[in-house]
Chain A
Amino acid sequence: MKIIVCVKRVPDTETRIRIAAGGKGIDNSEANFVLNPYDEYAVEEAIRIKEKTQAEVAVLSYGPEEATKEIRTAIAMGADKGILIKDPKALVRDAGAVASVLAAALKGMQFDLLFFGKQAIDSDEASVGPMTAQLLKLPCISFINKLEIGNGTVTAQRDVEGGKEVVASPMPVALTAQKGLNEPRLPALKGIMRAKKIPIEELAPAQVKDRVEVISLELPPQRKGGKVVGEGKDAAVPLAKLLKTEARVI
């Protein structure tokens, strides 16, 4: 069996967000980058399948040169090989463009399972997985939190409003990983020592255009200090009034 996991390099959640000059993008010059946390669930799931079935796990990233670091993190966790579609602009492209680049590269590759994280924690669009699947005409199961591999098929569980849904699909299939799918491992020392020795294949991106344009970007307004409206029972009436008139939540 062959598994490909698509991963993205993203700023970690503790990075203080700063708007870049021009007001249309984020200044990431001081950010710490990590492997997208949802992609970690995907990598972990792929490695667990590998450990059971001897599948081969490849990690694919569309990113700048530095994204080799996140690919190597995945290799240190246990993936067998890495592929980088190198493009210094990759991380700011729209979801459609990213999906097109990935799909173009994946067309020439063989796989039974194609994993994504459910979303990247930087742009939060949750689109690239399903869009790529669509371009490749693959079935897609998104937001999975449980997966079983059958004979040429998969059965996955996903959360739906107020309940669970169990779905099946033939392979090859695209899957997007949700929190709860597993507990991603830390790379062990052996994996860390081996990661650098595995060459990362580089591909050129297909020529595609962004169609969605960011017009402006701004930070949420600074939170104002709280307000004490009274104590105990006496607070109820003024509080309800303010929630209605000022906060307009009731």
Chain B
Amino acid sequence: MIAPETARLLRKTVARFVDREVRPVANRLEEGKEFPWELFRRAADLGFFRMRYPKEKGGAGGNATLFNIMCEELARGYMSLAAITAMQCLMCTDFIFKFGTDAIRDEYFHPAMRGEKVGAFCLTEPDAGTDLASIRTIAEPDGDGYVINGLKTWITNAPVADMFTVLCLTDRKSGLKGANFFLVDRKTAGVSVSKKFDKMGTRAAVIAEVAFENARVPAANRLGEEGRGMANLMRILAEIRAMTAALSLGLARAAYDDSLRYVKERHAFGSPIGSYQLIRAKIANMATEIEASRLMLYWVTDMLDRGAKCLKEASMAKYFVSEVACRACDEATRIFGAYSYSNEYDVNRYFRDTRFLLFGGGTSEILQDIIGRELGL
């Protein structure tokens, strides 16, 4: 059991880090479009990457609630950093930690916890986004290892990553039933990374394509039992969706905080704009939806911490809160008027960053479909 006091102290500490060290540099880093090494190392020093892992094994012994509080507060500061941190904590290291040998953990997991190695997680392909079953990347058994061929795209951290956790088929005929995750070191012959994508938001969370051309990996680099790739992905899917909801909540709060301040300061027709009903309604709706989001998210993290099955609830939370973030950031840009159109204002960055939340962790459309299916349709 984690004490509420620990959660409070964590939130306060991350908030302080964000307000002092992250928010003041966020717009500059976003303009630079480079991986934020300094903040990444600070996050490592503060122990953030260890959050989800047990203490006996080099982790901090946190739980889903603490992890999501951290993600939320980081996202309130700067989405690029929040996304990178969340991935380093979860998708980029989870399979290596759970299924890697001791030697693999020593070489990849522990350095990742210390911020010395950066991970990346590769599912998406040019012809397989939402429809993961269409992936083509293949890992063919060959002697005492596997040979990987294929192309992964939209891979966060790829330009700077030291290792990739890659979803591959081991046999094309059985489709996802023959899917496995493989650990691939960037230095492996046959691995190449494209130049980084130029994109709308989360620009410091750099993205590229990763190509595998006869890339040979040892058998021990198959992470998990043969054919259990998708089952193992399902195991952390609820966590991934909760995390994306936490990022969304943080961003919605940032948009709300800035808006609330602005409507008190900005005058029009002789009064602060916050005195006008239409503006008040915007603020009231933001606050209400944020409150609902908070309840929903931390209800899900509580289920995760109790070990309850909660994929439906996590999907609902991701869907709902990411849409709340989009609405909040949209309203914030209206409230700030022309100033939101200037790149110098934080709300401009929030608005751009919301779009990322719509796709990572499952699109709204597919989540609605999944929720419907869970409801027996």
Contacts and interface: CB of A to CB of B under 8 A. Distances in A.
Contacts of A73: 9, 12
B62 A196 contact: no
Q: What is the size category of the interface that chain B forms with chain A? A: 20 to 34
B3 A189 contact: no
B6 A189 contact: no
B60 interface: yes
Contacts of B9: 69, 72-73, 76, 187, 192, 195-196
Contacts of B45: 188
B48 interface: yes
Interface string B34-49: 0000000000011110
Interface in B166-189: none
A187 B12 CA distance: 10
Contacts of B5: 69, 72, 195-196
B13 A187 contact: yes
A193 interface: yes
B16 interface: yes
Given A72-B5, A195-B9, A196-B6, A190 B60 contact: yes
B10 to A, nearest CB: 5
Contact of A189 (B8, B12, B16, B47): B47
B289 to A, nearest CB: 24
Contacts of B16: 186
Nearest to B10: A192
Interface in A140-199: 186-190, 192-193, 195-196
Contacts of B10: 189, 192
A193 B62 CA distance: 7
A150 to B, nearest CB: 31
A198 to B, nearest CB: 12
Interface string A44-85: 000000000000000000000000010011001000000000
Contact of A76 (B13, B48, B50): B13
B60 A193 contact: yes
B62 A195 contact: no
Interface in A72-118: 72-73, 76
A69 B6 CA distance: 10
Interface in B332-348: none
Size class of A's contact patch? 10 to 19
B356 interface: no
Q: Taking each of A76, A186, A190, A193, which has the highest tally of chain B beta carbons within 10 Å of its own beta carbon? A: A193
Given A69-B8, A195-B6, A195-B9, A189 B48 contact: yes
Contacts of B12: 73
Interface in B3-25: 3, 5-6, 8-10, 12-13, 16-17
Interface in B312-341: none
A46 B10 CA distance: 22
B47 A188 contact: yes
Interface in B55-88: 55, 60-62
Given A193-B60, A196-B5, A186 B47 contact: no
A11 B215 CA distance: 59
Given A76-B13, A186-B17, A187-B13, A193 B48 contact: no
B91 interface: no
B51 interface: yes
Contact of B61 (A69, A76, A193, A195): A193
A207 to B, nearest CB: 30
Contact of A196 (B3, B48, B51): B3
A188 B8 CA distance: 14
Contacts of A76: 9, 13
A193 B51 CA distance: 10
A36 to B, nearest CB: 15
Nearest to B6: A196
Nearest to B70: A189
B50 A192 contact: no
Interface of A: 69, 72-73, 76, 186-190, 192-193, 195-196
24 contacts: A69-B5, A69-B8, A69-B9, A73-B9, A73-B12, A76-B13, A186-B16, A186-B46, A187-B9, A189-B10, A189-B46, A189-B50, A190-B47, A190-B50, A192-B9, A192-B10, A192-B13, A193-B55, A193-B60, A193-B61, A195-B5, A195-B9, A196-B3, A196-B5
Given A69-B9, A188-B46, 4 more contacts: A190-B60, A192-B9, A193-B60, A193-B61
Closest 7 pairs (CB-CB, A-B): A189-B47, A188-B47, A196-B3, A189-B60, A188-B46, A196-B6, A190-B47
Interface of B: 3, 5-6, 8-10, 12-13, 16-17, 45-48, 50-51, 55, 60-62
